[in-house]
A and B are shown apart, each in its own frame.
Chain A
């Protein structure tokens, strides 16, 4: 597919239109070629805008691009959890993937804990693919792509971006680089922890109530930053009322990009703009207005009730 064809497809996708299953397969094939070359810790140059969880909230992603300006005019780094829970996980992920194929150096996608076969079978993406395409092929193609997503990103060698957090198995960035990432997210171990852990006001490590990953305290963060010559860990994975939240004297920041989560939480969303000197600017945004939101297609009565 030539560039102009891809541009045409992206224009279609920006209107929240579904692309054909054959187009999904082709898009995923192209994306794989690009992602396979990326490192576990993908290097990214500032300036870049860092984004947190989207969870299928397509129209709110449009709002994000509106306040942050479109890709490729702005460089973007998305920290995972593109799918599940929202109405439009398919459209959301495939648009981001198409942008990745079109502008590979302008957008970076790293893996969240929801980019997983097991999780997407529980939290909606699987069901959505089945309903929208009538088969699970698109889900399978996307899950294969999930396996190729980088685990982390490093901005100008100073800011580490990861979906969840740290791992007791990992003290250096090189240890992340040695992981074989091309697999389903494991139930435990370093790769799992990076996508599942949470910072917490404790000393050292704690058991995570999520049942995967760990809780990690400020002392762990300080040691990690020092050992790896970093100034900040940017992560997502947790809902934040005000869109972003610092911890541990601004050495960890949680960025959350799904406004009014579950239509009830009343939270705003945020993106973190880094300029070429790594100065930080947080931009807050609200859900897209009601008239900007499409009307989801009516679904058939669930099989349970027939």
Chain B
């Protein structure tokens, strides 16, 4: 099995961001200096203070894009993408089973956590009610999450405790508004990044992070979205990729790179999508859209429809990363809710010694 680089090496030894279109009102990201992600420089003596919001005004967005947190997040997200190329969810699951119970303990701990959260959905059925939109039983589910989080994170490195609690509590939606959006998905990705920063993942775990762990997370949040009829939080409507998810498409497209038969065009064929949904996250997301939305696909999901015209999955993959940075990570309404602690620090990346 090929091992994938944790950091993206380029000429000169320092990774560069993909070249990006300038976002409205901001400079192109390629103008930001980037340092290599050396996790041996993460010298934590103990858990830091509670992670907190630092993006309070529009000017702070540029600081975020130039921060260590951003570099660590991007490095991890890209590394996981590389590690997912050509892997199916079902194939990876079989590999895990064959590897025996002692192997990949990090992955198993995460699956156990997600299985617990999934079970709570069964134990917290939706209320029969005439609510504004979302179901108030979701507040009970969230209350349980926040109460049990401190014990749930016992399976993970204690040095990361406060950070893991902060990110996990934001990973499943908002209890007041009864909604879920790309910001919540981002919180879960931050949770995973923190685990990587404290070296929770072994080298050979990385190829399971997306296709097993994140795929399972998606199953859980789709159930939550459906069971509690959560509102799409801050959806971009027809101008966005998906009302709820984004990283699922990015990591999902990596799985399909160099697939012999399935091209990006295949998403327009409902039967193909539903048949391969169990193997590929990208198709599982499209399958969910077919299930939940009414009308022709090109009308309700024009971005995904347009992307189906891209010839290669590798182009879809690289394009989605650029789009994620420009349309999600650079947008104040989403990232204003992000929290920063010791593991994803708001410090400028220049401060990082290489």
Q: Which chain A residues have a beta carbon within 8 Å of chain B's beta carbons?
A: 55-56, 84-87, 118-119, 121-124, 126-128, 187, 200, 209-211, 215, 238-242, 245, 254, 260, 262-265, 267, 290, 293, 295-296, 298-306
The interface centre, meaning the residue of A242, A245, A264 with most chain B CB atoms within 10 A of its CB, is A264
Q: Which chain B residues have a beta carbon within 8 Å of chain A's beta carbons?
A: 21, 24-25, 57-58, 130-133, 174, 176-177, 229, 231-232, 234-240, 243, 292-296, 298-300, 302-303, 306-307, 309-310, 315-316, 319-320, 322-323, 326, 331-333, 336-337
- Is the beta-carbon distance between B237 and A290 smaller than 8 angstroms? no
- For B289, give the chain A residue with the smallest CB separation: A264
Q: Which residues of B contact A210 (CB under 8 A)?
A: 177
Q: Which residues of B contact A127 (CB under 8 A)?
A: 239
For the complex of A and B, the 8 pairs showing the least CB-CB separation, nearest first, are A85-B237, A124-B239, A305-B319, A263-B300, A304-B319, A304-B322, A304-B323, A263-B293
- For A57, give the chain B residue with the smallest CB separation: B237
Given A124-B237, A241-B131: A119 in contact with B316 (beta carbons within 8 A): no
Task: Tell me, rounded to whole Å, the shortest Cβ–Cβ distance linking A155 to chain B.
Answer: 23
Q: Which residues of B contact A128 (CB under 8 A)?
A: 239
Q: List 11 extra interface pairs beyond A124-B237, A262-B237, CB under 8 A.
A: A85-B236, A85-B239, A118-B58, A122-B236, A209-B176, A239-B132, A260-B294, A262-B232, A262-B235, A263-B295, A305-B310
Given A126-B24, A260-B294, A305-B310: A267 in contact with B236 (beta carbons within 8 A): no
CB within 8 A of B176: which of A200, A295, A301, A306?
Answer: A200
- For A210, give the chain B residue with the smallest CB separation: B177
CB within 8 A of B237: which of A123, A296, A306?
Answer: A123
Given the complex of chains A and B, what is the CA–CA distance between A127 and B57 in angstroms? 23
- For A211, give the chain B residue with the smallest CB separation: B336
Task: Tell me, rounded to whole Å, the shortest Cβ–Cβ distance linking B128 to chain A.
Answer: 13
Q: Which residues of A contact B302 (CB under 8 A)?
A: 87, 296, 299
CB within 8 A of A238: which of B132, B303, B333?
Answer: B132
Task: Tell me, rounded to whole Å, the shortest Cβ–Cβ distance linking A293 to chain B.
Answer: 7
Given the complex of chains A and B, what is the CA–CA distance between A267 and B302 in angstroms? 21
- For B18, give the chain A residue with the smallest CB separation: A304
CB within 8 A of B21: which of A118, A122, A301, A303?
Answer: A303
Given the complex of chains A and B, what is the CA–CA distance between A240 and B132 in angstroms? 5
- Is the beta-carbon distance between A264 and B326 smaller than 8 angstroms? no
